[in-house]
Amino acid sequence: MEFFEAFVNMSGGSFAQHMVNGISLGSLYAMIAIGYTMVYGILLMINFAHGDIVMMACYFTFFGISVFHIPWYLTFILVIITTALLGVVIERAAYRPLRDAPKNSVLISAIGASFLLENLANYLFSGRPLRFPNIEVLSQNLSLGSVQIQAISLFIPVVTIVCLMILLHIVNNTKIGMSMRAVSKDYEIARVMGINIDNVISITFAIGSALAAIGAIMWGIRYPGITPMLGVMPGLKCFIAAVIGGVGNIKGAVLGGFILGLGEIIIVAFFPQLSGYRDAFAFIVLIVILFYKPTGLLGEKTTEKV
């Protein structure tokens, strides 16, 4: 009933506004979810630190623009490069030594890496929230008829689509993309076939982290408070997005991101009394989808070899 009332009372304009918000949040989730899905596809592990890579990228941007006064477009490029390097370094330090270790050890190491980044950020940048630099061009409000929309909200889906297309091109049509697919299909055979596994994994982390950096910049413009724990919730939700889409599947990650983003905005817009439970939504979707389709919406059916 309340849903119906909220829906009826909503003008066409605010409905459009909610949709734009939902799509832009979904796009952000999608960008970050891709990093999870790529790493999971290849190493069969959750990169717990991925959300914290997003957080670090926000701090990098802050330092670039607000502290060192580098022009924002240059900062963006530097941030993307630095974050990609950070991802590669984390893989080298925390995951590579455990390549043949039991899965739980890798998981613990990933949790350790995540916790280390959070604590390091807290120690280096203090726990007090910092304000993400204001970039006038992107954060200004545009009026479309009666609707007020932040420029970035329109910008986010476009960037996501462009990145997704570039990524799909790399994965499907380049040599490195072919190696990535080979490694995710069968790690051992790929190794035997002479693929340099270490390189493929490093590049995967670099690409995933670069996308995380782009996502982080857009996240920061949209939600400008930066704290050391900033990456935790988006990180968990984006992993969930990757899982419900079908882990290892890039399009699935995008689909999952949109489901979660739109779903959350719908809850906040139509069921305001439930908005406190907004963060719970992703976990409930996860349980429901895995219950009916354990490999996710677009995942391939696999059977364990006995």
- Interface ranges with another protein (CB under 8 A): 45-46, 94, 97-98, 101-105, 107-109, 111-113, 115-116, 118-120, 122-123, 126-127, 236, 239-240, 243, 276-277, 279-280, 282-283, 286-287, 290-291, 294, 300-301, 303-304, 306
Least gap, CB of 301 to another protein (angstroms) = 7
d(CA 157, CA 134): 20
**Residue whose CB is less far from another protein, 13 or 97:** 97
**Residue whose CB is less far from another protein, 181 or 278:** 278
Least gap, CB of 116 to another protein (angstroms) = 4
**Residue whose CB is less far from another protein, 211 or 247:** 247
d(CA 98, CA 65): 37
Least gap, CB of 125 to another protein (angstroms) = 10
Least gap, CB of 221 to another protein (angstroms) = 26
H helices within the chain, ranges in order? 2-9, 12-43, 50-62, 72-90, 103-125, 136-139, 151-173, 175-185, 187-192, 197-222, 232-245, 250-270, 278-292
**Residue whose CB is less far from another protein, 35 or 177:** 35
d(CA 282, CA 179): 32
Least gap, CB of 304 to another protein (angstroms) = 8
Name the β-bridge partners of 141.
150
d(CA 219, CA 204): 22
d(CA 147, CA 149): 6
User: How many Cβ atoms sit within 10 Å of the Cβ of residue 47?
Assistant: 30
**Residue whose CB is less far from another protein, 255 or 286:** 286
**Residue whose CB is less far from another protein, 103 or 169:** 103
Give 53-111 as a DSSP string: HHHHHHHHHHIIIIIT---HHHHHHHHHHHHHHHHHHHIIIIIGGGTTS-HHHHHHHHH
How would you label 182-214 residue by residue, b for 16+ Cβ within 10 Å and e otherwise? bbbeebeebeeeebebeebbbbbbbbbbbbbbb
**Residue whose CB is less far from another protein, 59 or 72:** 59
Q: Check: CB of residue 45 under 8 Å from CB of residue 37.
A: no
- Find, among 213, 206, 210, the residue nearest to 61 by Cα: 213
What 8-state DSSP symbol labels residue 132? P
Least gap, CB of 283 to another protein (angstroms) = 4
**Residue whose CB is less far from another protein, 84 or 247:** 247
Least gap, CB of 127 to another protein (angstroms) = 7
* SS3 label, residue 259: helix
Least gap, CB of 306 to another protein (angstroms) = 6
